[in-house]
Amino acid sequence: MITVYGAPGWGSAISELMLTLAEIPYQFDNVDGFDKPGPQQERLRSINPLCQVPTLQLDDGSVMTETAAIALMILDKRPDLAPPVGTPEREQFWRLLVWLVANVYPTFTYADYPERFAPDAPEQLRERCVAYRKTLYLWLDKQLQAAPWAFGEQLTLLDIYICVLRTWGPRQGWFAQNAPKMSAIADAVCGLPSLRNVLRSNDII
Ligand X SMILES: N[C@@H](CCC(=O)N[C@@H](CS)C(=O)NCC(=O)O)C(=O)O
Residues that bind ligand X (CB under 6 A): 10-11, 35, 51-54, 65-68, 101, 105, 109, 113
Q: Kindly tell me the burial class for residue 74, based on how many C-beta atoms sit within 10 Å of its own C-beta (0-12, 13-18, 19 or more).
A: buried
Q: Of 39 and 84, which has the nearer Cβ to ligand X?
A: 39
- Prior bond to 170 cis, omega within 30? yes
Query: Which lies closer to ligand X via its Cβ, residue 109 or residue 194?
Result: 109
Nearer to ligand X, 113 or 147 (CB): 113
Least distance in angstroms from the C-beta of 176 to ligand X:
22
Q: Widest CA span of the chain, in angstroms?
A: 50
For residue 154, the cross-strand partners are: 151
Contact call for residues 40 and 55 (beta carbons, < 8 A): no
Whether 60 and 73 have beta carbons less than 8 Å apart is answered as no
Which of 35/187 has CB closer to ligand X?
35
CB of 65 to ligand X, least distance (A): 6
The closest of 98, 95, 177 to 134, measured between CA atoms, is: 177
Q: How far is the CB of 199 from ligand X (least distance, A)?
A: 16
Nearer to ligand X, 53 or 157 (CB): 53
Question: Minimum distance between the CB of residue 59 and ligand X, rounded to whole angstroms?
Answer: 20
- Distance of closest approach, residue 88 Cβ to ligand X, in angstroms: 25
Kindly state the helix (H) or strand (E) to which residue 3 belongs, with its residue range: strand 2-6
